[in-house]
Amino acid sequence: MRIEVLYKFFLYSPASHLPVWEEGTGLLGLLPKERVLMELADLSASEREFERIPEEFLIREIPETVLAFFQKQRAIPVLGPLGEKLEDWDKPRFLAELSRSSWMAKETEKPKVSPQKTEEEKAKQSQWFMEVLLQNFPDGLLATDLDGHTVFYNETFEKEILIKKWFRDSILQAEKLLKEMSKDLLGNYLKTHELRLEEGRLSVQTFIPDLDCIVRVSILKQKGKPLGYLYHFSPASAKLNSQDGEGFAFPSVTEAFNQKLPLETMLKEVEGSYIYHTLKRNQENVSHAALDLGVPRTTLQNRIKFLDLTSKFKLNKDQPIPRKKTGKQSPIKKTVPQTNKPAIAETKPKPSSKKKQVSSKKKSTSKKRTKQK
């Protein structure tokens, strides 16, 4: 076999590499067109005879041009070790033989030699995923060390919790208040249960009216040693509301009692939910809903504003609310048409005009008397 025999296969195919396959052994490697051209250019080696394709001609790396070949071509010619054409492979067959080849198996086993590197990559990947998870957590999260200094907080805490009046949009104010709160909460809990920070998983919660949130404080530990505190801020309504069979969300009295919520908060949740569903039943028409609830329209509007239902339930506030015509008509001032105005003026003369008429009559009688004389 001479080198020209191998070159003619590249004349029939646009491939830059041809697979060389042997039965029983599998894929031996890829024959590059560039190496064949180099042998042809070498005049001293061009006349040399080969019994089989030399192993030094073959490469055991998969260049991008081979995979790009299958985007335009359906099949690639396959050579035998003796320089003969065996068959044509499509992309699935080529990838299957590639995965079965012993040299590709060795290439895939190379990363296993350094397990520390894979462990580091896994740790980085899991850390990145945890950061994304915490940032997108729907409730506010804040983590501090044992001294109360902030280590982490997510976007929900920054945009929805920190801006409230109790914290005054200051992380230092939040650290101070939360440290005092957790100190009292955990101190009372440990004292009543005769526990220590190192013993078991520890978590307490309380309701903060200034934030309108239920705050859960948990001890962060590593290998049994406390590292800091995790504060979980969840809206009171999220903890209270539960759906009945018809899909209506009403506050759970049992849950509110367990959370030790103030009576005012519980009443607001009940009233807000009831008004919201009444508005929905009346297509958000305030006048119609007020009739159903048995309250004046202005009272209902004030309650909607006080309970902040427009933003809480995303009610429609752009469209004007039409008034409902009821059977009882409100007293309306009668407007007198313009045609009646002259008649009214004639029937009811002004007092000043009467005086003028009387004075004119007196003048006329006095003139008559003077003429007679």
Strands (E), the chain: 17-22, 26-32, 75-79, 85-90, 140-145, 150-153, 203-208, 213-222, 225-235, 241-243, 249-251
Per-residue pLDDT of the chain (373 residues; tens, 9 = 90+): 778 888 888 888 888 888 888 888 888 888 888 888 888 777 666 677 888 888 888 888 888 788 778 777 788 888 888 888 888 888 878 888 877 776 655 554 445 445 555 667 776 667 777 777 777 888 899 999 989 999 888 888 988 899 988 898 899 999 999 999 888 888 887 777 777 666 667 788 888 888 888 898 988 888 778 888 999 998 876 655 555 545 555 666 776 676 667 787 778 878 888 888 888 888 889 998 998 888 999 999 998 888 888 877 766 654 444 444 444 444 444 444 444 444 444 444 555 544 445 455 555 555 555 545 4
Range(s) of the domain holding residue 14: 3-104
- What is the domain-level CATH number for residue 249? 1.10.10.60
Confidence (pLDDT) at 176: 92
Q: Is residue 37 part of a domain?
A: yes
User: What percentage of the chain exceeds 90 in pLDDT?
Assistant: 9
Do both 157 and 183 map to the same domain? Answer: yes
Among 285, 281, 295, which residue's Cα sits nearest to residue 324?
285
Confidence (pLDDT) at 344: 43
Task: Tell me if 202 sits within 8 A of 195, measured CB to CB.
Answer: yes
Helices vs strands, H then E, count in the chain: 16, 11
Query: Other C-beta atoms within 10 Å of 142: how many?
Result: 23
Locus of tokens 């104010």: 173
Report phi then psi at 75, rounded to 5: -140, 155
Do both 156 and 186 map to the same domain? Answer: yes
Do both 130 and 89 map to the same domain? Answer: no
Name the domain boundary from 235, 256, 287. Answer: 235
Confidence (pLDDT) at 44: 66
Do both 182 and 262 map to the same domain? Answer: no
Do both 250 and 160 map to the same domain? Answer: no
Name the domain boundary from 235, 262, 284. Answer: 235
Do both 99 and 154 map to the same domain? Answer: no
Name the domain boundary from 235, 250, 283. Answer: 235
Q: Is residue 22 part of a domain?
A: yes
Do both 231 and 247 map to the same domain? Answer: no
Q: pTM score, two decimals? A: 0.41
H helices within 150-262, ranges in order?
155-156, 171-193, 236-240, 253-259
Query: Per the structure, how many domains does the chain have?
Result: 3
Do both 131 and 227 map to the same domain? Answer: yes
Q: Is 243 exposed, middle or buried (0-12, 13-18, 19+ CB in 10 A)?
A: exposed
Do both 97 and 196 map to the same domain? Answer: no
- What is the domain-level CATH number for residue 138? 3.30.450.20
